[in-house]
Structure 1
């Protein structure tokens, strides 16, 4: 049995290496740099970086707030997953309790997958970033958008309800992109 697993693993690695190798061999010449020219003949004297007298606002990306929210949810869920794993592996639990813990772990995985998929779908609608959190049949969606309209909220609610049948209520929260 171990030889088969090793063989499958080796075959997978070799095929992955072959695919990557073919991709790089068939890739065309590097694309030209589309951004600012780093080394140029111009001097810095003609360039203005900004004026000290103008009011400036600090730049704070809302996506950092979203990343913080995602990390909190991940931490909570990893602790829950650890507790469920301990229940499943414990000798003190009955078979029914172990099955219930296993079912809860599967539903947690299903919920995480659905949230990640919905985040990608909402980003595909044209939003900078989105966070989707599901709790007890309700779904909370936070979105970064320059403009906020009821039609956009309806579009998000429709997307969530059409992709996730367990979503009974959907709450949409807009954050400004600036």
Structure 2
């Protein structure tokens, strides 16, 4: 019984040391937090230029937030579809072929989501700060935030070429640029 008490006591002290160590490490190198996102209205920020007396204050939406909303919309649609397919798979009324087709559709949705996330990472590796990729029946739509404010047909061609060589079933690729 003493060994069990010692073990519990030792593990408690070890976890306490770990928590305190992490606290002090984070205290010395704190993470950057955006106070506006925590305490304020994260979606709307008003911007006015000095010397522009007649310009009205307009809400500004962060481009990355728009891309995140697009990701969440696609994720919700796919989640709803997956739950419908799962219900079909678990239904006693479904035939074996229908259950197999539902399983294959779920696997395809998972594969598509993974491929889109991988393509977003690869586009970021090409030098673009943020990208959103959606693939739907052979059509690939890519929204890219460009840093320098300008975009060219050369940049769009580079991304299109990269997508066409990466995905065999990509028939059309549409590249949209958003200025940062």
Q: Give distance in 1, aligned partners of 2:106 and 2:158.
A: 31
Q: Give distance in 2, aligned partners of 1:74 and 1:52.
A: 44
Q: TM-score, normalised to structure 1's length?
A: 0.68
For CA contacts below 8 A with separation 6 or more, give which structure has more relative contact order. 1
Q: TM-score, normalised to structure 2's length?
A: 0.67
For these two proteins, the number of residue pairs brought into alignment is: 141
Structure 2 counterpart of 1:87: 88
Matches within 5 A, 1:60-99: 60-99=61-100
Matches within 5 A, 1:124-143: 124-143=125-144
Structure 1 counterpart of 2:153: 150
Matches within 5 A, 1:8-47: none
Q: Compute the displacement of 1:60 (Å).
A: 2.9
Q: Compute the displacement of 1:164 (Å).
A: 1.4
**Closer, same or farther in 2 for the Cα pair 1:104/1:128, shift >3 Å?**
same
Structure 1 counterpart of 2:105: 104
Unaligned runs of 5+ in 1: 1-23, 25-29, 32-49
Q: Compute the displacement of 1:59 (Å).
A: 4.4
Q: Give distance in 1, aligned partners of 2:173 and 2:52.
A: 45
User: SS state of the match for residue 118, structure 2?
Assistant: helix
Q: Per-residue CA shift, 1:73-110, capped at 9, x if unaligned?
A: 01000000000101111111000000000111111111
Q: Give distance in 2, aligned partners of 1:150 and 1:57.
A: 31
